[in-house]
Structure 1
């Protein structure tokens, strides 16, 4: 324990959408969404269509900066920008490198934009991984992909020696995901959400729990302890920032709703499993504003933030301020790009 606060390894966000950092303050959808399917159609699928590479750069920088300020030194990102696919993963990786945060990238392949859109998404994953980028083959979700596209993504991942990073059974439209993906997965896959997965589902890989997002989208509770004997469990945010201590607290509160005898140990283990996905983060150091790193303390102590962060031997946060970039500039540029994004959203059908 360092003077003034506990010291831990860097935390890992095991599922993020850095492109959503500009979404705060966005104009309302054309009508109020009525359920999960319309939330996707009227909010998030409109947002990703409006993105260009300049918006993405500053969205990623803002998301990485906020991760750093929250003691999160590594992000597993899942990206979609159907109007700006080619090169998008390079933009995200470069933005995070500039801030100093570790990043694993993928592009979420989907057939929502036709056969050519799916082909371009697969090609972006292939190009990035072939060039030595760190990441997965991304797939949006089984319910927005044909069987051929799912098989092509699984084959591409095997050829690159990586897993597939895919939303699985998040809401009712994807409730049959286990059947659609049967025989395709392996232990390297990231299975995001799993809310509507049966307890016995037959899929290999790590299930990533995103409690705040699941509550926000009113899709239900994944109750991830039911998978623990078969699948490792990790913790992500699904794009709601990268404050992993906050996500841990919500994960614990949700678990307590279903089991009043539960302590914070299981949600803490879910958070710690991020180190299995990005093991280098174990070598990073974070000095916190609170004197204890006991999960029983952190589960009930809001407002804990990072004071100093060292990544790969380089101090990238000192006394709460990023050292590689100018936080004021990042926030100002991100605000400018957010206004461009909002204008683009107003022009969409």
Structure 2
């Protein structure tokens, strides 16, 4: 048994939300109990005790939409790249990158990304992968990296027609193969979805092939109306909005997740709500790509859609996303009251609820029976930290780099900012070498 105590516990359990001198007791891969440090030490005197010396103890963060393959884009300069719109960004940067990625690129981008997740207190990641330079076995590379680093993850491969029929079919098979592999696991650490790029790069025949290769208990992970090209394509080719088209193919549903949803109509929102489809908004990416701000507050408040937050590969730090999500909607709506309650609910309540549509043990909460995903943050509050102002302290005072300790599935993955059980220096060195090699291939 492991005790993590002498800290300020933010449990996210409504019955025991905040403990000034709290302690989390862990047995194997789940939380045994949460209480005061004195209570836990008296009850479990033989347990190993980690004294966090007044730091903050919280559940690990959940990232509901990521692109690990974008890791090696950091610092990359592509010859002749000067985008004028979102389609230029997709075609000339991201599709050029993923069209070059090999299995080794995928593996090393994943090891470095998962290290960064651990360092930022992200314990669960839903990833949307693409590596059309080498498709077969690529999800296996991400899976291997996740196992080596111990990060809980749900993977899928981005099916698209953009590289021709053969590559599309290879992508469908990669999804189908990994779905079978993940279904055989018993450790609740890896799950799978059927990944789709976006409506405008998928024909009816491709969508039918995906459906034919997807089990009923697995949903889709797709980008919806991230840019106007998606909207125009669906209206011009199929005579219907994007969400309506996907609804007709049975793609919506409680196990399916829609990224972005920037340009959708009220009727499309109704379809998303009626089908209990999850929506993930990615504020930093949307601003960086200049694609606009989604009607997230409208979807959240008026339609009661299950909405969460993702990074879209922009960062591995969910506190960054929290900060940007808080201000983008205030700025967009001209309303200083917007997003105060909605965004923290997305991050701290909905992200775990969405993830638990796949993973079995409760995530995002410190209570008996929940997954033992616990992080410790070094944060000195200049004002009182209370049950009533927890979210404000996280929003304005904490960053991912405040994290000193990360425990995932009951295993200590980082202690005092040093990774446990892996050679971190080796991972970074190999990643940098692989990234440099990828850059040369992209610009050759």
> Normalising TM by the smaller chain, what interval?
over 0.9
The answer to whether the Cα contact below 8 Å between 1:142 and 1:150 also exists between their aligned partners in 2 is: no
4+ long deviations beyond 6 Å: none
Distance in structure 1 (CA, Å) of the matches to 2:351 and 2:337:
25
Match of 1:127 in 2: 177
Distance in structure 1 (CA, Å) of the matches to 2:338 and 2:286:
20
Query: What are the superposed Cα offsets for residues 133-171 of structure 1, whole Å, 9 maximum, x if unpaired?
Result: 5110000111001012123324433x2511100001000
The answer to whether the Cα contact below 8 Å between 1:77 and 1:104 also exists between their aligned partners in 2 is: yes
- How big is the shift at 1:230? 4.0
TM-score normalised according to structure 2 size? 0.75
- How big is the shift at 1:121? 0.7
- Structure of greater relative contact order (alpha carbons < 8 Å, 6+ residues apart): 1
The answer to whether the Cα contact below 8 Å between 1:29 and 1:43 also exists between their aligned partners in 2 is: no
Distance in structure 2 (CA, Å) of the matches to 1:199 and 1:17:
28
Match of 2:159 in 1: 109
Is 2:391 aligned against 1:309? no
Distance in structure 2 (CA, Å) of the matches to 1:214 and 1:64:
23
Question: Per residue, is there more strand in 1 or in 2?
Answer: 2
1:147 to 204, 207, 213: 204
Match of 1:269 in 2: 345
- Structure 1 stretch displaced more, 300-309 or 186-195: 300-309
SS in 2 for 1:89: helix
Distance in structure 1 (CA, Å) of the matches to 2:329 and 2:319:
15
What pairs up with 1:56-205 in 2 under 5 angstroms?
56-132=106-182, 134-157=191-214, 159-175=215-231, 176-183=241-248, 184=250, 185-201=252-268, 202-203=271-272, 204=275, 205=277
- Structure 1 stretch displaced more, 104-113 or 323-332: 323-332
Aligned pair count reads 346
Match of 1:224 in 2: 296
Match of 1:260 in 2: 336
SS in 1 for 2:213: helix
Match of 2:280 in 1: 208
Match of 2:78 in 1: 28
- How big is the shift at 1:179? 3.2
Distance in structure 1 (CA, Å) of the matches to 2:421 and 2:230:
41
TM-score normalised according to structure 1 size? 0.95
- How big is the shift at 1:29? 4.5
- How big is the shift at 1:302? 4.9
Query: What are the superposed Cα offsets for residues 190-213 of structure 1, whole Å, 9 maximum, x if unpaired?
Result: 100001112330233111000000
Distance in structure 2 (CA, Å) of the matches to 1:268 and 1:69:
21
- Structure 1 stretch displaced more, 232-241 or 277-286: 277-286
- How big is the shift at 1:223? 2.7
Structure 1 pair 130–42 and aligned structure 2 pair: CA distance change class (3 A):
same
Structure 1: which 5+ runs fail to align? none
Query: What are the superposed Cα offsets for residues 12-66 of structure 1, whole Å, 9 maximum, x if unpaired?
Result: 1100011111111212252311100010000000000111011111100111111
- How big is the shift at 1:265? 2.1
- How big is the shift at 1:181? 1.1
The answer to whether the Cα contact below 8 Å between 1:154 and 1:164 also exists between their aligned partners in 2 is: no
Query: What are the superposed Cα offsets for residues 75-124 of structure 1, whole Å, 9 maximum, x if unpaired?
Result: 00000111211111010011011111111100000011111111111111
Is 2:421 aligned against 1:340? no
Distance in structure 2 (CA, Å) of the matches to 1:163 and 1:151:
14
SS in 1 for 2:197: strand
Larger Rg: 2
Distance in structure 2 (CA, Å) of the matches to 1:289 and 1:238:
27
The answer to whether the Cα contact below 8 Å between 1:17 and 1:77 also exists between their aligned partners in 2 is: yes
The answer to whether the Cα contact below 8 Å between 1:98 and 1:324 also exists between their aligned partners in 2 is: no
The answer to whether the Cα contact below 8 Å between 1:36 and 1:218 also exists between their aligned partners in 2 is: yes
- Structure 1 stretch displaced more, 319-328 or 277-286: 277-286
